[in-house]
């Protein structure tokens, strides 16, 4: 399952979030710093809903998020 996760950090210090992401590299395809809505966007892939759920529970200790699940790749 592919997902894009918009990250909104809870403080100006992003290091705790970035350190957490380094421990989750098996799920993260790309971590982009962005402007506009949010601070970062994660391009990610999870083998199951259960692993995605656990990732989000752990992530919520460092940042708020908005989840977008990929339904289908076109083209």
Please state, in angstroms and rounded to a whole number, the distance separating the CA atoms of residues 37 and 66. 10
Q: How many CB atoms lie within 10 A of CB 55?
A: 21
pLDDT at 11: 87
Which domains, ranges and CATH numbers included, belong to the chain? 2-69 (3.30.70.920)
* Average pLDDT value for residue range 68-75: 94
Model confidence pLDDT, tens digit, residues 5-60 = 999 998 889 999 999 999 999 999 999 999 999 999 999 999 999 999 999 999 99
């Amino acid at each position: 399952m592919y997902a894009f996760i918009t990250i909104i950090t809870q403080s100006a210090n992003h290091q705790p979030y970035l350190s957490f992401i380094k421990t989750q590299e098996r799920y993260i395809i790309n971590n982009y710093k962005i402007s506009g809505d949010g601070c970062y966007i994660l391009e990610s892939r999870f083998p199951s809903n259960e692993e995605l759920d656990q990732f989000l529970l752990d992530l919520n200790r460092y940042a708020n998020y908005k989840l977008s699940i990929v339904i289908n790749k076109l083209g």
